[in-house]
């Protein structure tokens, strides 16, 4: 059996954050051909489920935080240490950095998150008048359009209860803030970091990650490394490429991912996922 693991943003999803009809049909063709297809994303499980609609395939979400089989059956979860999460949340708040907390049912965000990012963008625009502000703001708005996002007045309280926390996502237009946050994270042994974009830091449990979760799913089905095909575009997809026999980079992928790939497909706005699947099904890959 073959296994295809597909990232969402910048890969399966268009720039409008939608799954094209072509990509959706190609996934169904792969499943009908006996291939196990899974989504492997930084998004939350409930957000992925809403995007997939009638596609019943395994889901690896929150960068490996949860692994669901077909029928939405939970295989495993990897939780963030509550104290480590609270400590880094305190730091992010002290630095006025926007962040989201991924739980079982919501993406919790500070109530003033949107205005905080708008203020950062205004400063960036003043310092760099030639910057494409519209595109940058659209990137930020992708965060606020996710299924299940819930603004709260006191985001730290999530770490005082028994709620499961899978990851934190930071978003900032202030690159100096992000640089300092990355340095701060190196001091937290129970946490790791990755990224799905220039303005994003994703904070995970040290034992989490797309690669670990993909290996777990493959082992469950008895699938060997040489039969795993990982498709992605961003730094958080690197761990998938490390455990897959075949790394498929999108045309719009970062150069580091392309260098580690075995195949470069078309861009996310050109149905690159469907293009690769059809190559594989036709034995032309």
Gap between the Cα atoms of 159 and 151, Å rounded: 16
Q: Sort strands 200-205 and 191-194 into parallel, antiparallel or unpaired.
A: antiparallel
pTM of the entire predicted model: 0.90
At residue 237 the predicted structure's pLDDT band, cuts being 50, 70 and 90, is very high
* Tens digit of each residue's pLDDT (9 = 90 or more) over 186-229: 999 999 999 988 889 999 999 999 999 999 999 999 999 999 99
At residue 285 the predicted structure's pLDDT band, cuts being 50, 70 and 90, is confident
Name which of 59, 44, 73, 102 is nearest 214 in CA terms: 59
**260 neighbors 243 (Cβ within 8 angstroms):** no
H or E element in which residue 61 lies: strand 59-61
At residue 139 the predicted structure's pLDDT band, cuts being 50, 70 and 90, is low
The per-residue pLDDT for 269 is 97
Token output for 10? 């910048």
**253 neighbors 260 (Cβ within 8 angstroms):** no
The residue annotated as part of the active site, out of 7, 47, 174, 233, is 7
Asked which of 81-85, 117-121, 172-176 is least confident by mean pLDDT, the reply is 117-121
Mean model confidence pLDDT for the chain: 91
The per-residue pLDDT for 127 is 63
The per-residue pLDDT for 128 is 66
Q: Where in the chain is the domain with CATH 3.30.1240.10?
A: 82-205
| CATH class of the structural domain 3-78+209-281 | alpha beta
The per-residue pLDDT for 155 is 87
Token output for 88? 């880094």
Once rounded to an integer, what is the mean pLDDT over residues 105-116? 82
At residue 134 the predicted structure's pLDDT band, cuts being 50, 70 and 90, is low
Residue 47 among the catalytic residues: no
At residue 140 the predicted structure's pLDDT band, cuts being 50, 70 and 90, is low
* Tens digit of each residue's pLDDT (9 = 90 or more) over 141-197: 677 677 778 888 888 889 888 889 999 999 888 889 999 999 999 999 999 999 988
The fold of 82-205 is: 3.30.1240
Percentage of the chain modeled with pLDDT above 90: 74
Q: Where in the chain is the domain with CATH 3.40.50.1000?
A: 3-78+209-281
Asked which of 34-48, 55-69, 152-166 is least confident by mean pLDDT, the reply is 152-166
Name which of 114, 103, 111, 74 is nearest 220 in CA terms: 74
Q: In terms of residues, how long is the chain?
A: 285
Name which of 64, 99, 40, 77 is nearest 234 in CA terms: 40
Burial of 255 (0-12, 13-18, 19+ CB in 10 A): exposed
């Amino acid at each position: 059996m073959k296994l295809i693991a597909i990232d969402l943003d910048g890969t399966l999803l268009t720039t409008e954050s939608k799954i094209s009809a072509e990509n959706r049909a190609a996934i169904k063709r792969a499943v009908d051909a006996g291939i196990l297809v899974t989504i492997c994303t930084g998004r939350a499980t409930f957000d992925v489920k809403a995007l997939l609609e009638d596609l019943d395939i395994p889901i690896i979400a929150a960068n490996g935080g949860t692994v669901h089989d077909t029928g939405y059956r939970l295989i495993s979860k990897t939780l963030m240490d509550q104290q480590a999460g609270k400590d880094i949340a305190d730091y992010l708040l002290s630095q006025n950095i926007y962040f989201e907390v991924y739980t079982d049912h919501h993406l919790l965000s500070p109530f003033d998150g949107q205005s905080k990012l708008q203020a950062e963008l205004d400063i960036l625009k003043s310092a760099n008048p030639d910057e494409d502000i519209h595109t940058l703001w659209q990137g930020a708005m992708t965060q606020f359009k996710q299924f299940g996002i819930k603004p709260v007045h006191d985001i730290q309280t999530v770490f005082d209860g028994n709620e499961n926390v899978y990851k934190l996502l930071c978003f900032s237009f202030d690159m100096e803030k992000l640089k300092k946050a990355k340095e701060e994270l190196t001091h937290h042994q129970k946490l790791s970091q990755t990224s799905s974009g220039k303005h994003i830091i994703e904070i995970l449990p040290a034992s989490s990650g797309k690669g670990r979760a993909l290996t777990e799913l493959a082992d469950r089905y008895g699938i060997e490394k040489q039969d795993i095909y990982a498709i992605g575009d961003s730094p958080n997809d690197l761990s998938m490429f490390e455990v897959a026999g075949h790394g498929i980079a999108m045309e719009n992928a970062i150069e580091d991912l392309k260098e580690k790939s075995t195949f470069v497909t078309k861009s996310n706005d050109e149905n690159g996922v469907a293009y690769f699947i059809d190559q594989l099904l036709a034995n032309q890959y």
